[in-house]
């Protein structure tokens, strides 16, 4: 099991920036991938970005490319999501998740599928105002 503690959500004006953090710990931490998902009211959970904990390789949804950047700090056991040029369409609850048994270099479709991740942190509300 991996324990995940996210932080950094909040309210920001359109065009602004926020950085989300997700501190990880646990017996199986350090393997596999970690990712960010989001869910807006009335919508399904949506993939945002994923990072391979070992080598830092990452993959992101087209909707956020060029605006959001995923990263991790091995020394701090923390994953980040830097979100720039935010728009009201980015308003959602954001979740960090970990999949210690999922290979970044395996079936790519699994990386963006929320039920492939078996460890989840509590959601962070991100609200972007006009």
pLDDT 10s per residue in the chain (130 long)?
889 999 999 999 999 999 999 999 987 667 899 999 999 999 999 999 999 999 999 999 999 999 999 999 989 999 999 999 999 999 999 999 999 999 999 998 999 999 999 999 999 999 999 9
In degrees rounded to 5, what are phi and psi of residue 19?
A: -125, 125
Q: Are 64 and 128 in contact (CB under 8 A)?
A: no
pLDDT reported for residue 33: 95
Q: How far apart are CA 123 and CA 96, in angstroms?
A: 8
pLDDT at 28: 65
Reported as type and span, the H/E element at residue 52 is strand 46-52
What was the pLDDT predicted at 31?
Answer: 84
Contacts of 34 by beta carbon, 8 Å cutoff, 6+ apart: 22, 24, 50, 51, 53, 72, 79, 96, 97, 98, 99
How many CB atoms are located within 10 Å of the residue 125 CB? 11
State the pLDDT at residue 23.
96
């Amino acid at each position: 099991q991996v324990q995940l503690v996210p932080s950094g959500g909040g309210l920001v004006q359109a065009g602004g920036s926020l950085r989300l953090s997700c501190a990880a710990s646990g017996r199986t931490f350090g393997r596999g991938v970690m990712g960010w998902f989001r869910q807006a009211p009335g919508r399904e959970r949506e993939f945002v970005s994923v990072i391979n904990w070992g080598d830092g390789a990452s993959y992101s949804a087209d909707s956020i490319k060029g605006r959001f950047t995923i990263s991790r700090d091995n020394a701090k056991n923390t994953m980040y999501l830097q979100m720039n040029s935010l728009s009201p369409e980015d308003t959602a609850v954001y979740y960090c998740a970990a999949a210690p048994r999922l290979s970044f270099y395996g079936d790519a479709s699994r990386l963006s599928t929320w039920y492939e991740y078996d460890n989840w942190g509590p959601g962070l509300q991100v609200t972007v105002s006009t």
